[in-house]
Amino acid sequence: MRLWQKMMIGLARNDRLTARMQDARCMRRFSRMFVGGGDAAAVLERARQLRAEGMAASLFYLGEYVRDPELIRRNEAELEGVAPMLADASLDIHLSVDPTQVGAMLSWDLCRENVTALAQRVAGLRGSGRAVVMLDMEDSSVTDRTLDLYHELRARGLPVAVTIQSSLHRSREDLDRLVECGGMVRLVKGAFAEGPEVAATGRTARDATYRACLDQLFSPVALKRGVYPVLGTHDHRMVGYGAALAARHGWRPDQWEVEMLLGVRPTYQRRLAVEGRALRLYLPFGESWFPYAVRRVGERPANAWFVLRSMLDGLAGK
């Protein structure tokens, strides 16, 4: 699986291939599977549709590992620009951001400045729904910096949340501090092909680390501290395990949620929504969709068939 992931990550970072795929008509169905729209207006409409189906959304502007100052400014502007649109539509102002898309590749001071401005923007728009800037967690080389940024902004009273990758060996210790501080924590298994010296790599080990982290997030101490667990997983076993922990320790249904990616296990997503489970979909938007979408194939090889079918349909003129 790690070899497959590495292959897909390599494709995602190939600029020439990205340009060709994003211009190819036959790939449009593929992009719509995982991406909420090309611009803010389109993704806002998609978020409205999701709400009508009983699902919330976390918006993410496509573009990461960015070194171009102009692209960094654009990324920041797009996220700041969509925030009041969400407020006007009475939707959650829930924005996900990668540190490397807003300046971390050039300077963590620049990243801090941009994320602070975004969080202040969101804070000023607080309404009846949830309002938060969720820091995505990228590869292990930026874990320390990302957590430092989160703790700094939270100490300043800004509406921020953070993502933890359960497969990293360090994550149990990181969660101890996060639980003590309270707040929203999104738990994912980890989408990066890290080595065994950094992370659990086998499926059994990765499952075990996720369950252990759920034990921390749903502990009586976490409940008392005001932790809001977000189960970032498509694994129904982990959702079931988390739900059982929540019931055992007295968590209300509105004190935690499940978050999944748009386009991954949609039938299961609809089932959870029908059952009344608090469900949020990660909703990317923007023009740079290929690197993001191909990584989703890396995480779930079954999606590769959808890519091939999209290409064949395009060649057939459908």
Active site residues: 136, 186
The string over 243-268, giving b where at least 16 C-beta atoms fall within 10 Å of a residue's C-beta and e elsewhere, is bebbeeeebeeebbbbbbbbbbbeeb
Helices and strands counted in the chain (H then E): 14, 8
Burial of 64 (0-12, 13-18, 19+ CB in 10 A): buried
For residue 48, CA distances in Å to 54, 262, 268 come to 10, 14, 20
Close Cβ partners of 77 (under 8 Å, ≥ 6 residues apart) = none
Which amino acid, residue 9? I
Which amino acid, residue 199? A
User: 290-299 and 303-315 are packed helices; what angle lies between their axes, rounded to 10 degrees?
Assistant: 130
Alpha-helical regions (H) of 89-126: 108-123
- Rounded Cα–Cα distance for residues 213 and 231 (Å): 10
DSSP state of 138: -
CB 63 within 8 A of CB 45: no
Close Cβ partners of 119 (under 8 Å, ≥ 6 residues apart) = 133, 153, 158, 159, 160
